[in-house]
Amino acid sequence: MDELIREIERHNELYYLRDEPEVSDAEWDALLRELQELEAAHPELLRPDSPTQRLGASPPTGAFPTVEHRVPMLSLDNAMNEGEFLAFLERVQRLAEQDAPLEYVGEPKLDGAGVELIYRAGRLEVGSTRGDGRKGEDVTANLRQCPTIPLTLHCDTPPQRVSVRGEVVLPHKAFERLNRLRREAGLDPFVNPRNAAAGALRQLHNIDRARLRSLEFRAYALAEGKPQGVQSQWQVLETLRSWGFGVTEQCARCPDPAAALAYHQRMLAAREDFPIEVDGTVFKVNSLALQEKVGNLPRSPRWAIAVKFPPQQATTVVEAIEVNVGRTGALTPVAKLEPVFVGGVTVSNASLHNQDEVERKDVRVRDTVVVQRAGDVIPQVVKVVESKRPKGTRRWKMPAACPVCGSEVVRLEGEAVTRCPNLDCPAQLKNNLFHIARRGALDIEGLGEKLIDQLVEAGRIARISDLFALDRDALLGLERMGEKSATNLIEALERSKDTRFSRFLIALGIRHVGEGVAELLARHFGGDLDALMAAPKEVLERVEGVGPTIAESVVSFFADRRNRAEVERLRQQGLRWPRSEPTAAVSGPLAGKTLVLTGTLDGMTREEAKERIEAAGGRVTSSVSKKTHYVVAGAEPGSKLARAEKLEIPVLDEAGLLELLGA
């Protein structure tokens, strides 16, 4: 589970921060699904920081300079139903110590990305994401591209410093248009408008300006720079409007709690009519003086609440139930649906997770089903509408043979997952090759998904070692493969043979052996493959961080004659690594990151900086390339800084570095 979490987080970073996803959304979904399955089966192992627990939360930080929010950006407490909302209204009435019913402002809850805009002397100075509420990321350059963000306030005598807060959203129409264009360009569509909006703001490379220009900013709060005489939230909204900000039209004054309830019902009925994604209503005590009296909790104000809409559902028909085969051979049934529009996206697939799940819900082909989308979770089949079941349908069963290679599938006792056991299954092979080619494993430049598909389908590769047996002629026979690319790939393959033991282990694709475990094994066995292959379970279990499941998996991998033969072939093809690994840390805040230093730092020498980065798991190289994660620039930086800027690689100052180091 830890491996999966690390892997998912790495993909999040690639997707959100580097704009360089290595896997399709579907593959990402599959990883998440695998994690969810494990968590469902072992709730005691559920980590509170698991990505399943914070879908849509801000992705890892560090790529942008941080900005402190002088006034913290609080979040809102949620009421999931009417009862919780009524309890809120009563509580506030009591805390406010007022006899007359309190007045509220009702606002649609916009499902986008919260941002803060700082204006100095009326000019936009900094725009930042909410981040953790105290510190966000400086995304000014991207925000400046949004046409609905005024660069200067429409105000003759603006306050010296103003903090406007609001939501950046991507209207449904723009979302659909962008996705159409992405599909046409062969790119994966965005999952939902919120992700597309948040991702747009955090772009670092190949900035997609069309996406930024489609964003809309809606203002809802003024945290600094309230003009004299502004005494209520309603006046705040009016001020924001007069300064040139877009404020959601549907905001309304609710003179008492009953009116607030009615407002919520009205918005719920109108939710489909909004041009943007709205996932609830927000109520704020109108009087600013009473807001202050009622006060704040550490994370959220006591004077406001978000009342959530129930997740959106729709009914559609199951056209087929297909089975996907993942990297570990896991078979996942997927319902192919007649496309249906739910909560701002068109859904045509829904995961059915596994055999038990299909049985429990008894989903059959041609059934009418209720599908639901909540947040950016993958669509789910909630239930079957049995009254609409046509005659002659049959219970669905997991196929006995792998749909890709025809091997008999297995389901182990106590496991929810059915697997294809064939290590040479093309589905697994493709996935394995993909896994091997990526950075962190053998790092084979130019070996992407499409090429892998071609190589496997053309029968050029049936097992990993075939990859290293490829020659130019074999490659030149492929579609769209020119001399140059063929030579480049051969060279990349040659380069990748010089590896590290841990990377070699990752490349073998042993179940449960991902980056972290590979590193532990590599260090323990000091690069001695024979010793590792011969190690019995008890010896492996003594390796720190290796438990019985991992040990078992390693032993059974090497017990398989075919795997041993494959390892031998790889060795003979010249895959090599230094004995006794360098002891650089692999965990730590900079694990897997490459940094370049330029200029003079204040508080430490270059050597010290290098040592500290390495101690935090990072690597320091001397030249800036596309693979550099950060450039740290001190005083009088050299040409490396210019190159970093050209390649749009995030540049940090010393403080930024210290922050990354967690100092």
Residue located via tokens 């056991």 = 421
343's tokens: 């909560």
**Burial class of 552 by CB neighbour count within 10 A (0 to 12, 13 to 18, 19+):** middle
For the bound state, the minimum distance from the C-beta of residue 139 to ligand IVH, rounded and expressed in Å, comes to 14
Q: Which is nearer to ligand IVH, 166 or 509 (CB)?
A: 166
Nearest to 411 by CA among 297, 332, 514: 332
**Residue type at 103?**
E
For the bound state, the minimum distance from the C-beta of residue 654 to ligand IVH, rounded and expressed in Å, comes to 31
151's tokens: 């660069």
Element (H, E) at 257: helix 257-270
Binding site for ligand IVH (CB under 6 A): 74-76, 107, 109-110, 114, 130, 167, 220-221, 282, 301, 304, 306
Indicate which residue of 109, 430, 593, 640 is catalytic. Answer: 109
Q: Which is nearer to ligand IVH, 304 or 404 (CB)?
A: 304
For the bound state, the minimum distance from the C-beta of residue 443 to ligand IVH, rounded and expressed in Å, comes to 38
Q: Which residues contact 482 (CB under 8 A, 6 or more apart)?
A: none
Q: In this chain, which residue has its C-beta nearest to ligand IVH? A: 114
Q: Which is nearer to ligand IVH, 23 or 247 (CB)?
A: 247
For the bound state, the minimum distance from the C-beta of residue 113 to ligand IVH, rounded and expressed in Å, comes to 7
For the bound state, the minimum distance from the C-beta of residue 262 to ligand IVH, rounded and expressed in Å, comes to 18
**SS3 assignment, position 311:** coil
Q: Which is nearer to ligand IVH, 170 or 442 (CB)?
A: 170
| Cα separation, 208 vs 185, whole angstroms | 14
Is the Cα dihedral 207, 209, 210, 215 positive or negative? positive
Is the Cα dihedral 643, 214, 110, 371 positive or negative? negative
Q: Which is nearer to ligand IVH, 74 or 215 (CB)?
A: 74
For the bound state, the minimum distance from the C-beta of residue 426 to ligand IVH, rounded and expressed in Å, comes to 45
Cα of 318 vs its chain's centroid, Å: 28
Distances from the Cα of 162 to the Cα of 122, 136, 285, angstroms: 8, 17, 22
Q: Which is nearer to ligand IVH, 78 or 140 (CB)?
A: 78
**SS3 assignment, position 138:** strand
For the bound state, the minimum distance from the C-beta of residue 148 to ligand IVH, rounded and expressed in Å, comes to 16
* 646 catalytically annotated: no
Are 163 and 116 in contact, with CB atoms under 8 Å apart? yes
Q: Which is nearer to ligand IVH, 109 or 629 (CB)?
A: 109
| Cα separation, 151 vs 166, whole angstroms | 15
How far apart are the two ends of the chain, measured CA to CA in Å?
Answer: 28
Which are the catalytic amino acids?
109
